[in-house]
Amino acid sequence: MPITDFLERNAKIYPNDTALVEINPERQPDKDITWREYNLIETAADSDKYRREISWRDFDIKANRFANLLFTRGIKKGDKVAVLLMNCLEWLPIYFGILKTGAIVVPMNYRYSADEIRYCLDLADVRMLVFGPEFIERISSLQGTLPMIDNLFFVGKQCETPDYADNYAEMVYYCSSTVPPVEICDDDNAAIYFSSGTTGFPKAILHSHRALVCACYTEQHHHRQTKNDVFLCIPPLYHTGAKMHWFGSLVVGGRAVLLRGVSPEWVLQTVSDEKATIVWLLVPWAQDILDAIDRGEIDLSEHNLDQWRLMHVGAQPVPPSLIKRWKGRFPDHEYDTNYGLSESIGPGCVHLGTENLHKVGAIGKAGYGWQTAIVDENGKPVANGQVGELAVKGNGVMRCYYKNPDATAEILKDGWLMTGDMAKEDEDGFIYLVDRKKDVIISGGENIYPVQIEDHLRGHECIKDVAVIGLPDKRLGEIAAAIIEVKCDRTISEDEVNEFCLGLPKYKRPRKIIFADVPRNPTGKIEKPALREKYCGGSLVEAQISG
């Protein structure tokens, strides 16, 4: 079945139930709107409201209308339509509208520069682009350089619509709301997602409807979503992580809340107001919440949080010390983590499980519907406890890197996806991530795995974040350097860091300490290539760990 079947089913079974809520904390909370058919044409103009919502019926109608609009513009099965939007109520109806035509949806990273946007549009053979007001300047600068783009749709106020684009809300209002007469099956191509792009420019990852449906069932099986659960979605929807976690709500017809902001107060206030039961956080956001509580900036007694049952973290290795702190503040919360890559349709190919709190630090075992293996450079399984490359296999594995057969051949081996992550398995079968294959530091002939040092340093009460990279060294080849971000209300010296690192084996202790901010991308990954470029002029390498 195609993933669009879930939406159409929910529209029939739960037509008047709320599907999506958008919260924009920067707006006045007394402005509230429900997105219904009578005001479809005005919804873009109402984007400055504090809270907007949409029912399952109107979600499906909106998707149908956009699909039928695309037909009038010549879009057909197999064509590519790109989406360049910040998280908003329009995002998912547009996504599903594209899928309903049989076309391939191409979500775009909102951080892309104009050159990166043009590169990705060309790489994916995109024919149509949907974009929001935040991107007017970048898209305007590309006019005359996008020969393949037939149409552009602007999601925003009519008065702000550029003269080279059509207003989405106005155009879609006049289109039929009937289900598009297109036959779609599991094997049809559905989406192109882009890799992190840290090798210079991103690679285009092609997925089928079967992969998207795999993500739906994997997520719902892992976190046991029910109709009564409310999922708080904070990360960007262009990324597989956020959307595939939302797929668990899609399966059961549950409500989801899109929060346009990440401040600790906004997160807890939204959990309280919207009665959220499941929240997916990135490591920095969880740290910020705990730090704000510790500083007395947030009083938990002022929020209604009793219904919050599950906090899960992904997109990067999770320090055990963080979860210990979290459980100290929220002892009744279930905790979970998922591991995945965009190439494996996001999170879930490896899964810890809420029942395995005693294994925090591990990424878990093979997820629902997945297989795992840890192999050597020849593709042979390594002995238990030995470090090797993690490989995964399942219906969520990508079709290919679009128009890049050489890169595809490097990562796909007999149906197995080579993740590029070094890992080991303990005596109970739990997998521990050691580091990125390309991030391993070789110092004096010894392999040093930065994640192990980072986990140790994050255990210091003054350290907010840390990244460890290799710097060139004439004698040892490389040395480990720790870039340390200190908590805003704390101080720590280099000597204190070195003393704390006495708890590590001597060869693992960082030989250089740098106090600076640790850059992360919107999905929480440390931007180590940028750090290498800054501190040693190193080449960019790819990092594809995703929640």
Task: Give 384-404 pLDDT, tens digit per residue.
Answer: 899 899 999 999 999 999 999
| CA separation, residue 52 to residues 48, 61, 67, 381, 420 (Å) | 10, 17, 22, 51, 41
Topology match between the domains 4-13+42-184 and 230-435:
yes
Q: What is the residue type of 538?
A: G
Banded pLDDT at 444 (limits 50, 70, 90): low
CA dist., res. 408 & res. 503, Å (int): 41
Domain 4-13+42-184 adopts which CATH fold? Rossmann fold (3.40.50)
The pLDDT, as a whole number, for residue 537 is 58
Q: Helix-strand-coil percent breakdown of the chain, rounded to 5?
A: 35, 30, 40
Q: Which CATH superfamily is domain 230-435 in?
A: ANL, N-terminal domain (3.40.50.12780)
Residues 47-56: what's their mean pLDDT?
83
348 vs 365: CA distance, rounded Å? 10
Which residues, in sequence order, are CB contacts of 478 under 8 Å at separation 6+?
441, 442, 443, 470, 471, 472
The CA distance from 317 to 442, in Å, is 21
Global pTM value: 0.82
Tell me the two tokens of residue 428: 């109970």
Q: Domain coordinates of the chain in residue numbers? A: 4-13+42-184, 230-435, 440-516
Fold that domain 440-516 belongs to in CATH? GMP Synthetase; Chain A, domain 3 (3.30.300)
Task: Report whether pLDDT(457) > 80.
Answer: yes
Mean pLDDT check: name the lowest of 34-43, 77-86, 211-220, 374-383: 34-43
The whole-number pLDDT of residue 43 equals: 45
Per-residue tokens: 31: 């402005």
Could you report the per-residue pLDDT of 231-290, keeping only the tens digit for each? 999 989 998 888 899 999 999 999 999 999 889 999 999 999 999 999 998 887 898 899
**Tens digit of pLDDT for each residue in 324-372?**
999 999 999 999 999 888 999 988 999 999 999 999 889 999 999 999 9
What is the per-residue pLDDT for 401?
96
Residue 129 has pLDDT above 80, yes or no: yes
Predicted local distance difference test score (pLDDT) of residue 475: 67
**pLDDT tier for residue 92 given thresholds of 50, 70 and 90:** very high
